[in-house]
Amino acid sequence: MAEKVICITSGKGGVGKSTVTANISTALAMKGYKVVAIDADIGLRNLDLVLGLENRIVYDIVHVIEGVVPPEKALVKDKRTKNLYLLPAAQTKDKSAVKPEDLVGIVEELRKNYDFIFIDSPAGIEEGFKTAVTPADMVIVVANPEMASIRDADRVVGLCEAMQKEEPKLIINRIDPKKVARGDMLDVEDVLQVLSLDLLGVVPEDKNMVSYINRGEPAVLFPESIAGKALRNVADRILGKDVPFMELKVSEGFFEKLKKLFGSK
């Protein structure tokens, strides 16, 4: 696996980047891979909350950079998945506390002992974004099916190109088939037409996702979660498996079926 270090990013905040990071990291750890998830959103950390590890943090990434502890000492072991570890962001510093060369050094140290390293990038396209992307072998852009999110994702693609990174992969998050059918939301083809990226995953809206996040339990832990299934599929595609995309069609309601049966218009 050449692409061990994966940065998950977006132009716009609030698209579910940390949730995607937590879920893919957990899914790969559940398969037996050793995984580190790095929260690079300095000053605004929340990857620890999504993983339910907020009360177990002693050291953070800035402690590592300042030489207080080595990277391994700062890692927080996941409480559900034995192969998953979190390197938390510092909550009381700003993004300038971590330089690109600092993160490269940490990643190179961790690369020796882990199968995958995920970097949860801060939102936006400023200094923190460039720091998060610099060590990455692969960049995954998360976008919602709305024009503001897609426009910002397109800017991220341009910046990755300027940084001489390989073209990012795309995850479309929180797509709602009912809204797509009503014309209230862009569909997958619309998004791909604008961004022209390789599609890594389409994650449907899941009514239980807020509850999972509030409990610090990634959706991939729940077989009944439709978003969890989609994110487990993303993990398989990262491993190089050919996994078909889920059908996200809206099922016909009772009255629509009656209309067809009786030929009503």
Give the other-Cβ count within 10 Å of 124's Cβ: 18
Model confidence pLDDT, tens digit, residues 209-229: 999 999 999 999 999 999 999
User: What residues does 141 pair with on adjacent strands?
Assistant: 9, 170
What is the bridge-based pairing of β-strands 76-77 and 84-87?
antiparallel
Query: What is the chain's mean pLDDT, rounded?
Result: 92
**pTM of the predicted model, to two decimals?**
0.92
Model confidence pLDDT, tens digit, residues 165-187: 999 999 999 999 999 999 999 99
Annotated binding site for ATP: 12-19
Annotated binding site: 12-19
For the sheet with 84-87, list strands across it. 76-77, 84-87, 35-39, 116-120, 5-9, 138-143, 169-175, 198-204
Is residue 259 scored above 80 in pLDDT? Answer: no
pLDDT value at residue 258 = 45
Query: For the chain, what percent of residues have pLDDT higher than 90?
Result: 83
Q: Which domains are assigned to the chain? A: 4-262 (3.40.50.300)
